[in-house]
Chain A
Amino acid sequence: MKETDMNESALLNENGHGEAEKAWAADVRRAAIKPTIGRVSVAWKLSVTVLGLVVLAGIGAWIYQLKHGLGSAGYNDQAFWAVYIVDVVTFIGVSYGGAVISAVLRLTGQSWRAPLTRLAEGTALVTVMIGALFIFPHLGRPERFWEIPIYVNTSSPLFWDFMAISTYVLATVIFFYLPLVPDMAIVNKTLGRADRPARFRIYKALSLKWMGNERQRRLLHSVLTLISLIIIPLAVSVHSVLAWAFATTSRPGWMESVFPPYFVIAALYSGTALVIVVASAFRKGYHLERFITKRHFIRLGYIMAALGLVYAYLTIADLLSEGYTGITSGWIRQTIAGRYAIPFWFYVALGEVLPIVLVAVKKTRNIKGMTVASVGVVIALWVKRIVIVLPPVTQPLIGSFWGTYHFTWVSITITIAGVAAIPLGLMLLFRFLPVLSIDEMEEMGELGSVEQVSKETLAAQKQVPAYAYANGNGHVNGNGHVNGNGVGMPEKEVQL
């Protein structure tokens, strides 16, 4: 990064904002802070109540399962791993998407990420917690969970799962919290001590005496760059270790060398899809239309489609060699044309064909199209993991008798409760913390955050308010500093 840009940025900070930036900042603050300290709407209350009841039903079903045994969830000796391990892999997987999308965009200086980061990191945080909690219904004796760190067996893949997941949960919390520091100070400015003394104190503590001076900014940015750098390999390791819990057994269909990258890409793919779904829902529900725009959806859609193609490639790589030689193809035959054919082809249709078509066709390359595609991907990838887990587990290792897993109301209720816990967790989270990354968005400015300036976008900016033009022409985020194709110059944090 060039010296001049740094100086210009610094100049802006010291001299305060211009008119346009002030108006933009006010809009951002209003949109981000209102859901946290304003009155809640009836719709919000209703949603939280309904989602809360669903989650409670899931907890009730789990208590029933504790009493009656895992058999009540449809498990048996030839289907000993099923829906809960699928839920663990799925929830922790979608969490990866939020974290890595945010980290990669941060590291590559994609300034358009700014309105999405808080949502993406929040989704990562909420889903990783849910995913980790799903280990408990998976266990026959959840009350003995504490034994794992006590009676350590380092040769067990599950011990390393435990290590990787707990480290990743910690990293996700940090990754969510750090960009929140300046926002806490900003919220407190709006809130005032008298309004809500308890909250004020909490925010103040969380803001770590943030004043926004250059030293603090440098520090925050370097720490954020560091954690972004750490969280990517960490997430890769989590999903690889999760994959190795399967791939270190001698079961045909699980003992696959492709499994670790297979799981990592599945996580990224479904995670990107979930970020789109969450962005779409919160855009509507929290009135963020102005900040999260069609362009965000299309860009995330491109990323998703690319990951989808890689995932399709890995799926073929997984199936082809063994299927072709036929050495251990019992599970492959069942997957493609046997008892697991319906879920498998459901995945192909909803998880590969539909999203790629919706992204490829210009007419559907819009917010609605991307949202539909993402919902399809999230569901299809859950189904795909069922297809990854069940055929190898139900296949006979001796003889020819296939096992069967039956879904029961217990396992379905608990899984749906996990799904409901995502919006519930996010709504509660953003009842206390701002839904947008205020500081980042102010720093990027409107053009950085919303519309990357390029020749064609400038031409298309008929609906953008007048002050945006002023910004675009005269200041740091103007067209002089932006690449023509809409990929922004690296912002300040990568100058470090």
Chain B
Amino acid sequence: MRKLSKSKKQASDGLDLIPAESCAVPADGQACSIMPAALAEEPADKVEKDLSRRRFLGMFGAVAGATAVLGTGVELLSYRAYAQGLPKTNNWTGSSGMTGSGAADMASTQAPPTHQWAMVIDLSMCNGCGSCTAACQKAHYLTPDQTWMKVFELTDTTGQTYHLPRPCMQCENPPCLHVCPVHATFRQEQGVVLVNQDRCIGCRMCMAACPYEARYFNWNSDVKYPPIPVEATPEFPVPQRLGTVGKCTFCVGNLNHGLLSECAAGCQMGAIYNGDLKTDVAVNSAGTTVKLSKFLDDNNAVTFKPEQNTHPRVWYILGHGQNLNADASTAKS
């Protein structure tokens, strides 16, 4: 595992969006669901605008019991106790640290980070069905163009096509962050790169800088959102602001409540693992739990475009004959 750069900054590892007590792990071992998915279950017109946030979330916690994806996050949670026992080193933030108002908002709450979120995508398991994209778009009310999780079709050296799901790489050295003129993009304590859409001026320099095409702009004002009784946050930017940039948030709110990200939960093949570098564990939707570092080593996991020096927190496990970095750039034009 790569060493991570040091920083003295502290901020929240939690997400203020969902109160912890409304999202406890039920006795039967199933995690409660998360708001985005639950919200999507309910027809928009049934959501009362004046619901208190607590009641709103509690209600959907119940709905979610039946609808949640099985097995999500339990293993992650069980490691949390272990992780919290670790010495508090505070060395998890990238050199750029947290900046801007997002930092101020979150610094108010608490404790050193107990997690460093990561993702592993097993390309040999991916059949290109696109359900990760669909789940993500449904949860975040994205337009069909806004593929925060996008599945590319590539051809390997043997001429076979395979699929490459591409979330935001959550780079430890994110080019998008460096070029933002107003610190609207920031990297929070758990290593997740987020966008403060109340700060973003819409210059799209970050879109130019991102080598993974992982950023998507809010181009049109005609996007319809259901009434959502909670405020948009960088972790859950719904509704998105017109004229600002958006991207994959790693569903960091889900992760912090022991749930899989929408794409991982939506993947029927179990190809997407949510992982935590700090507790060294990764979990997929099939309930498979692995020791992250060993899993990466054993499978010769690679990062995408390492020559860009971005240090992604997303690793790929390749199938036979695949060379991700060569295949992705041989564009047929």
Contact = CB atoms under 8 A, between A and B. Distances in A.
Interface of A: 67-72, 75-78, 80-81, 138-142, 144-145, 147-148, 150-151, 153, 155-159, 162, 245-246, 248-251, 254, 328, 330, 333-334, 338, 393, 395-400, 402
Given A140-B243, A251-B208, A393-B208, A157 B333 contact: no
Given A140-B243, A400-B331, 15 more contacts: A77-B146, A140-B244, A141-B201, A141-B244, A144-B182, A151-B183, A153-B182, A158-B179, A248-B179, A251-B208, A396-B213, A396-B331, A398-B152, A398-B164, A398-B328
Contact of B200 (A140, A145, A338, A397): A140
B199 interface: yes
A155 to B, nearest CB: 5
12 contacts: A69-B220, A69-B242, A70-B217, A70-B219, A81-B207, A140-B242, A147-B199, A153-B181, A249-B175, A249-B209, A398-B152, A400-B333
B185 to A, nearest CB: 10
Interface residues of B, number: 48
Given A67-B221, A157-B179, A399-B154, A140 B209 contact: no
Nearest to A148: B181
A67 B180 CA distance: 24
B2 interface: no
- Chain B interface, DSSP helix/strand/loop, else mixed: loop
Nearest to A85: B204
B46 interface: no
A323 B175 CA distance: 26
A477 B145 CA distance: 69
Contacts of A80: 204, 207-208, 217
Interface in B175-229: 175, 178-183, 199-205, 207-209, 211-213, 215-222
Contact of A141 (B175, B202, B222): B202
Given A68-B221, A156-B178, A397-B213, A151 B100 contact: yes
Contacts of A398: 152, 154, 164, 166, 212-213, 328-329
Contacts of B152: 398-399
Contacts of A147: 181-182, 199, 201
Contacts, number: 148
Given A77-B145, A249-B208, A400-B333, A153 B183 contact: yes
- Chain A interface, DSSP helix/strand/loop, else mixed: loop
A35 B198 CA distance: 49
A405 to B, nearest CB: 12
Nearest to A155: B178
B210 to A, nearest CB: 8
